[in-house]
Structure 1
Amino acid sequence: MRFCLLFLAFLPCFAFTQTSYEDSLNLFLKKYVADHEVVTGNDKQKMKFYPVQQQYRINAVFERKENSPWFMMSTSGNTKQQYRVYGIIRFNIYDTAVALHIYQSRSLMSSEKYKEHLFIPFTDLTSGRETYGGGRYIDLNISDISNNTYVIDFNKAYNPYCAYTTGYNCPIPPKENDLAVAIKAGELNYTK
C-alpha cells in the first residue's frame, strides 16, 4: 500500500516531464515556422510536422574525426560547398545500429556567429514519400557534444530551402548519411 501511495505521489512528476518535453518541442516548431525566411504569409500553414515523439530523441556516441580532409559537397544548384567530416555519431533506432556523419562548413568557420556550427544532412526511408526527397537537416553546435556523446533529436529535422522554392544551393546529403530506416519525426513534405 505504501508503495502504491509513493508511486501515485510521483506520477504527476513523470507526466509533467513528458508534457514539458513535448511542449518545448512544439514551441520550438512554432518558432521555426514563424521565423521562416522563405515560406511567408498563409503559406506557413502548409508546413507540416510529424507528431513530437520522445523516442526520436536519442543518445548517440560521438567519435571525433581529427584533421579530416576538406571536400566539395554537391548541392541542388551548380555551386559545390566545402565541408569536412567533423565526427561520426552511432546509435540504435528500431533495434538497428546506424551512423551519421556530422559536417563542418569551411566558409562558416570564418563567421563569428557560425564558427561553432555543425550540420547533419540525411535521407531515410521516408525521403521522397512523406518527407522531402532531397533529405532533411539537423543543426548543432560543437558545444552540444559533451563527453563523446550527442543527443540527436529528429523531431527538429527540417527541410532545406530547396523544398520550398528554386534558386538555392542546398547541400545534398552524402551517401554515408542515407539511413536504411524510416525516421517518422521532424518536418514533412511541404504541401504547396
Structure 2
Amino acid sequence: MLRYLFLLLLAAGPLLAQDYEEEIAIHRDEYREEFLTSPRSPLKKEDLEGLRFYEPTLAYRLEARFVPTPKSQPFEMPTYNGEKKAYVKYGELHFSLNGKPQKLAVYKSALPQLPQYRDYLFVPFKDPTNGTTTYGGGRYLDLRTNDVKDKRLLLDFNKAYNPYCAYSDGYSCPIPPAENHLKVAIEAGEKTYAKQR
C-alpha cells in the first residue's frame, strides 16, 4: 500500500509542477497588465519586453510559520528618493531554505488605507542576487492578512517583484530594512530589468 502511494505521488509530481507553472504564467500576465492600467506606471506597452523572470520552481514556494508582533510601534521606513513611509511590523515569517532557518519581517501600512487595501501586507527584502541577476535595491512580496491560516502562510518567492525604482527615477520605493536582508540567494521571481533607462 505504501509503495503504491509513493508511486502515485511520483506520477503526480510532474502534473503538480505543470499546474504550478501555469499558475505563475497567469500571475505574470496579470503583473504585466497592471503596468498598462496603473496611472503611475513607469512602463508603457513597448517597455514590457524588458521584464525578465527566473523560471518558476516549487523549491521557492515555502510554508512559513507566522509569528505576530502585536506590540510593535509604527516607524518610518526610508525610501530611495529620501521620503519616508509609515509602517508597523505586523509579524515575522520563519521558514527554512536549503536546510537553513530564515526569517523575514512582514509590515503593514501605519496610515489609514482605503477599504480594499486594509488587509495588505508588505515584505521588502534583499538577498545576494541583488546587483547581479536582480535589481540592486531589493525586491518586494505582497501578502494579505487572510493568507495567514493557523499561524501558517505560503511564502512564494516566484512572485517577488521589482519596485518602480528599478525602471525609473522619481518614485518613493521603500528600502528593505536590515532585518530583511537574507544571506541566502533567492533565485526566483523578477530579474533585473533588461532595457536601458
TM-score range, shorter chain: over 0.9
TM-score, normalization by structure 2: 0.90
Q: Residues 12 and 170 (structure 1 numbering): CA distance in 2 closer, same or farther, change over 3 Å?
A: same
Output the CA distance in 2 between the equivalents of 1:52 and 1:164: 22
SS in 2 for 1:25: helix
How many Å apart are 1:115 and its aligned residue?
Answer: 0.5
Give CA deviations for 1:103-130 in whole Å, capped at 9, x if unaligned.
00112x4310100000000000001111
**Mean Cα displacement is larger for which, 41-50 or 7-16?**
7-16
Aligned to 1:33: 32
**Residues 160-171 of structure 1: pairs in structure 2 closer than 5 A:** 160-171=163-174
Are residues 25 and 3 of structure 1, via their aligned partners in 2, closer, same or farther at CA, if it must alter by over 3 Å? same
Question: 1:53 maps to which residue?
Answer: 57
Alignment partners' CA distance in 2, 1:10 and 1:126: 33
Unpaired runs of 5+ residues, structure 2, are 36-40
Q: 1:11 to 1:89 in 2, by over 3 A?
A: closer
Distance in 1, matches of 2:69 and 2:101, equals 20
Corresponding residue for residue 21 of structure 1: 20
How many Å apart are 1:3 and its aligned residue? 9.1
CA offset digits 1:61-93 (Å, max 9, x no partner): 110001200000000112100111100011111
The aligned counterpart of 1:118 is: 121
In structure 2, do the counterparts of structure 1 residues 67 and 6 end up closer, same or farther at CA, with 3 Å as the change threshold?
Answer: closer
What residue is the counterpart of 2:185 in the other structure?
182
Aligned pairs, number: 190
The residue type equivalent to 2:186 in the other structure is I
Alignment of 1:131-170 (within 5 A): 131-170=134-173
Q: Percent identity?
A: 39
Take 1:4 and 1:101, find their aligned partners in 2: how far apart are those partners? Answer: 41
Deviation at 1:13, TM superposition (A): 3.8
